[in-house]
Amino acid sequence: MLERDENGTVFQARPLEDEWKREVIGVLRSDDFGWSLHVEERSEILPLPHPFPGFAAGDVVSAVILPEFADRKAVAVPVRRLPAPSAPAAGTASELKAGFVTIQRRLGLLGLEIPEFTRWLKQQDIPFVLESDAIRFEQPYSPLLAALRPRLPMVPVCEREACRERMSAFPFPRPAQPDEICRICREEAAAAKPAEVPPATYDFGGRRILIVGGDAVGVAYREMLAHHNLDVEWISGFVGLGGARQGIGNVAAIVIILKQVSHTMLREITAAARDTKIPLLYSPRRGTSGVLATLAAHFRLQPRQT
């Protein structure tokens, strides 16, 4: 926004989005989809516009979140690296020694594999001594564990009994927050404990569909929906349609996951669907059950009889 004086001369320029910026603390990650910022307390994963020199995967950083604006999707811009907890501090014996149960509770975990945890501590260059039922650190464990928690590669697990039974496959499971995607069932966690209802199974006859968005589930849509005789293609909701535009003519429907798709992608995929006359469906839920319900309603299918 340009501010001018009475003569029309510009004396100040201010970005329109200044008031919408917010600063968060998170951990930088790098995978096949590029760089991203993981904000544990908010259960957010935000893309970075590009790699930033001076920062590395695993760094705990303070970052500014720029909201979606015009053709730009919401992105995280790291501002500064936060220091890792490395300097020993004086403390009593009780402050230095933490039992396994205490560590699990302080980290907010549902389970804790001690061999994996001690291996991870070594990777973080944290000195410690492993005892039969505890870990002795060289600095008070309470602030140390609080500082380490954002770095720990935890996985969210919902309250479904079947998921809790399978969470031992992960060394650091934690309770999934409401609306967060469970790593096991790939469904959104509910605010209240969900009822244990057997999942419905459908037969889509090998139909090929395209799912856009829902990055928290991502390529796992293919495996989870293959049980329903669906051939699934998935693309991120935070990239341009690009070359995928030419391949959408062979799909029976396009499903847009509303919670995780940028306005830019939404415009592109809507135009492409209109040009090819492919049904465009909208799923308000990111989990596979939400996608199934949307598709079953569109194709007027009933669950298989068991």
Q: What is the pLDDT of residue 171?
A: 94
Q: What is the pLDDT of residue 110?
A: 94
pTM of the model: 0.60
Domains and CATH numbers, the chain: 18-81 (2.40.50), 93-151 (no CATH), 207-299 (3.40.50.2300)
Q: What is the pLDDT of residue 91?
A: 55
Q: What is the pLDDT of residue 181?
A: 86
Rounded mean pLDDT for each run of 10 residues along the chain, 306 residues in total: 55 48 77 74 70 84 72 73 60 81 93 95 93 93 88 90 91 88 86 61 92 87 91 86 68 88 85 87 87 91 80
Instruction: Return the amino acid letter for 120.
Output: W
Q: What is the pLDDT of residue 193?
A: 59
What gap in Å lies between CA 98 and CA 107, rounded to an integer?
Answer: 12
Q: What is the pLDDT of residue 273?
A: 86
List, in order, residues 6 or more apart from 195 with CB less than 8 Å away. none
The answer to whether 146 and 53 have CB atoms below 8 angstroms apart is no
3-state secondary structure of 289: helix
C-alpha neighbours within 13 Å on the C-beta side of residue 224: 22
Instruction: Return the amino acid letter for 9.
Output: T
Q: What is the pLDDT of residue 18?
A: 46
